[in-house]
Amino acid sequence: MKTQYYTAASLDGFIATEDDSLDWLFPLGDVNETSYPAFFREVGALAMGSATYTWMLRHVVKPDTGTGATWPYTQPTWVFSSRTVPAIEGADVRPVRGDVRPVHAEMTRAAGGKNLWIVGGGDLVGQFLDAGLLDEIIVQVGSVTLGAGKPLLPRRLVGDQALRLQSVQRFGPGFAELRYEVARRAAS
Amino acid sequence: MKTQYYTAASLDGFIATEDDSLDWLFPLGDVNETSYPAFFREVGALAMGSATYTWMLRHVVKPDTGTGATWPYTQPTWVFSSRTVPAIEGADVRPVRGDVRPVHAEMTRAAGGKNLWIVGGGDLVGQFLDAGLLDEIIVQVGSVTLGAGKPLLPRRLVGDQALRLQSVQRFGPGFAELRYEVARRAAS
């Protein structure tokens, strides 16, 4: 069982524009032709911040448009937010706030031996990292620069092989996948 | 003859810390065990900004320390600076300011058919890019995050395959090399 940060980012280290747009991302390639399907099959529970959840709601589920699109995850999903988050029909969404450590323990119990996916944003991932709870970072580096935006991981992770590159893979002209093992620095 | 931006960067897109330190970089691996020697053999002329030049002066040449270290490039090197730059004995350094286009033409003449290396910083590279004069971006992505620092390339390069990933290569746990072809967007 691993706790993984799997995300796409620009070459200059942003996971979204300042206004949370991912419009730059989708022309780069089909996520189903990357390692995503194999990664996702092993996910037993998810956690995300409220900006990520709101993005999903607006751009994937779109409840007001009548497109009938549904929440894409059957796994339980913890949403970190200091405010109330709108529910989505048929989605196992568990609002939560505060310390990531008890949530990680709950996620572990719920995941049945499968992996935990910390979807983002970067600051939520940083909180799991700070608590010594992050095992892997998998970045699909898109062939774009954004110049500004939401940071991949607002932390300083330097020295003593804090990150160890495990593999690199090219998915067409649009994506380079980089996989890192995270040295556990704090007690979990 | 190609105009290339070859640099190392952190996973989160910084080429140096806020105070121009590269101390995070050197423990990651030996540059001579990467593609750097093969890249450098094909370089006929260099251009860099004043911060990069000052860094070289302080950390490589160190004229006041009596270590006898010398300027590492025999190729002519244009240094963009609005101020006077200190000369280095035995170095073919050509101070310049302003528009990158006539400098690019001079560099091309001096390079004798070899490649032009735009060393950095990111904003100088952006000026060559804006002028449609950049052909390739080669980034050694180091296995670190810095959280803040000098940006890799402070530009928005999105859509219409502005960047095309050509190859990926792993150099140990410390470096992932990503090579991009740049679509020429402006008249050169």
Give per-residue pLDDT as tens, B84-123. 888 888 899 999 999 999 999 999 999 999 999 999 999 9
Q: pLDDT grade, residue A188 (50/70/90)?
A: very low
Q: Contact, A111 vs A44, CB < 8 A?
A: yes
Q: pLDDT grade, residue B68 (50/70/90)?
A: low
- Range from A62-71, A159-168, B12-21 that averages highest in pLDDT: B12-21
What are the domain boundaries of chain B? 29-182
Residues of A in contact with B125 (CB under 8 A): none
CA distance A30 to chain B (A): 14
Please compute the mean of the pLDDT values over residues A23-52 and round it to a whole number. 95
Give CATH for domain B29-182. Answer: 3.40.430.10
Calpha distance A44→A96 (Å, rounded): 18
Q: What is the pLDDT of residues A126-156, one digit of tens each?
A: 999 999 999 999 999 999 999 999 999 999 9
Torsion sign over Cα A163, A165, A171, A176: positive
Q: Does B158 touch chain A (CB under 8 A)?
A: yes
In terms of Cβ atoms closer than 10 Å to its own Cβ (0-12, 13-18, 19+), residue B23 is: exposed
Q: Contact, B28 vs B174, CB < 8 A?
A: yes
Predicted ipTM of the assembly: 0.94
Strand-pair category, A14-16 with A150-151: antiparallel
Q: pLDDT grade, residue B59 (50/70/90)?
A: confident
Asked if residue B187 has pLDDT above 50, the reply is: no
Residues of B in contact with A169 (CB under 8 A): 168
Mean pLDDT (chain B, rounded): 93
Residues of B in contact with A180 (CB under 8 A): 11, 143
Q: Does B51 touch chain A (CB under 8 A)?
A: no
Task: Give this prediction's pTM.
Answer: 0.94
Most distant CA pair in chain B, distance: 52
Asked if residue B82 has pLDDT above 80, the reply is: yes
Q: pLDDT grade, residue B186 (50/70/90)?
A: very low
Q: Are B139 and A169 an interchain contact pair (Cβ–Cβ within 8 Å)?
A: no
What per-residue confidence (pLDDT) applies to B185? 58
* Helical pair B100-111 and B122-130, crossing angle rounded to 10 deg: 90
Count CB neighbours of A55 within 10 A: 19
Q: What is the pLDDT of residues A65-76, one digit of tens each?
A: 666 678 999 999
Residues of A in contact with B154 (CB under 8 A): 147
Half-sphere exposure of A150 (CA within 13 A, CB side): 20
What per-residue confidence (pLDDT) applies to A85? 87
Nearest-by-CA chain A residue for B15: A12
Asked if residue B135 has pLDDT above 80, the reply is: yes
CA distance B88 to chain A (A): 32
Facing residue for A145 by CB, picked from B153, B166, B168: B153
What per-residue confidence (pLDDT) applies to A68? 63
What per-residue confidence (pLDDT) applies to B67? 67
